[in-house]
Amino acid sequence: MDLIQRVQQHFEESIAAKMAAVEVLSPAIALAAEKVVQTLIADGKILACGNGGSAADAQHFAAEMVGRFERERPGLPAIALTTDSSALTAIANDYDFDLVFSKQVHALGRAGDILVAISTSGNSANVISAIHAAHDRQMTVIAFTGRDGGQIADLMTGDDVNICVPHPRTARIQEVHITAIHALCDAVDFMLLGGD
pTM above 0.95, yes or no: yes
Known binder of ligand: residue 67?
Answer: no
- Over residues 23-41, the mean pLDDT reads 98
The reply to whether 38 sits in an annotated binding site is no
Q: What burial class does residue 194 get, using C-beta atoms within 10 Å of its C-beta: 0-12 exposed, 13-18 middle, 19+ buried?
A: exposed
121 annotated ligand-binding residue:
yes
174 labelled binding-site residue: yes
Q: Which domains does the chain have, with CATH numbers?
A: 3-193 (3.40.50.10490)
175 is in an annotated binding site: no
- 182 carries a ligand binding annotation: yes
Mean pLDDT of 36-56: 98
pLDDT per residue as tens digits for the range 94-139: 999 999 999 999 999 999 999 999 999 999 999 999 999 999 999 9
Is there a contact between 105 and 129 (Cβ–Cβ < 8 Å)?
A: no
Would the annotation count 102 as a binding residue?
no
Does the annotation flag 85 for ligand binding?
A: no
Residue 196 has pLDDT above 80, yes or no: no
> Taking Cα atoms as reference points, which of 148, 161, 173 lies closest to residue 30?
161
Task: List the strands of the sheet with 114-118, edge to edge.
Answer: 78-80, 46-49, 114-118, 140-146, 161-165
**Positive or negative: CA dihedral 193, 159, 145, 19:** negative
Beta bridge partners of 144: 118, 163
The mean per-residue pLDDT over the stretch 32-55 comes to 98
The pLDDT tens digits of the residues spanning 137-188 come to: 999 999 999 999 999 999 999 999 999 999 999 999 999 999 999 999 999 9
User: What does the pLDDT read at residue 22?
Assistant: 96
51 is in an annotated binding site: yes
